[in-house]
Amino acid sequence: DAGVTQSPTHLIKTRGQQVTLRCSPKSGHDTVSWYQQALGQGPQFIFQYYEEEERQRGNFPDRFSGHQFPNYSSELNVNALLLGDSALYLCASSTDIGAYEQYFGPGTRLTVT
């Protein structure tokens, strides 16, 4: 049983560019949450998707957007990249919108130069 998978593993982008990160949830999970983890910090909640809709959102600007597909996989898009967007982006999946028990993926390391 595959756990949460994320792609790509690493990514280097230039300021002003746009990036798309991908996540496949654990088998049987229908809810996907995205987090940003800056160096030396804990994960910060970006948003959560359930039934292909954004259901909860943290304190992130509109440059951060997402999508969930019918197969429950999800994408995180970041537009107009800033140097401060450099971080590890984590995806977590769970079985219900309550997300009482989340399973995290390995993350995508984004570097903005």
Partner 1 sequence: AQSVSQHNHHVILSEAASLELGCNYSYGGTVNLFWYVQYPGQHLQLLLKYFSGDPLVKGIKGFEAEFIKSKFSFNLRKPSVQWSDTAEYFCAVKARGSGTYKYIFGTGTRLKVLA
Residues that bind partner 1 (CB under 8 A): 4, 33, 35, 40-45, 56, 58, 90, 92, 99-107
Between 35 and 72, name the residue whose CB sits nearer to partner 1: 35
CB of 111 to partner 1, least distance (A): 19
DSSP 75-94: EEEE-S--GGG-EEEEEEEE
Between 62 and 100, name the residue whose CB sits nearer to partner 1: 100
Question: Which 3 state secondary structure label does DSSP give 81?
Answer: coil
- CB within 8 Å of 41: residues ≥ 6 apart: none
CB of 35 to partner 1, least distance (A): 8
Between 7 and 113, name the residue whose CB sits nearer to partner 1: 7
CB of 106 to partner 1, least distance (A): 5
Total Cβ atoms within 10 A of residue 53: 9
Backbone dihedral region of 14: left (phi > 0), alpha (psi from -120 to 50 degrees) or beta? beta
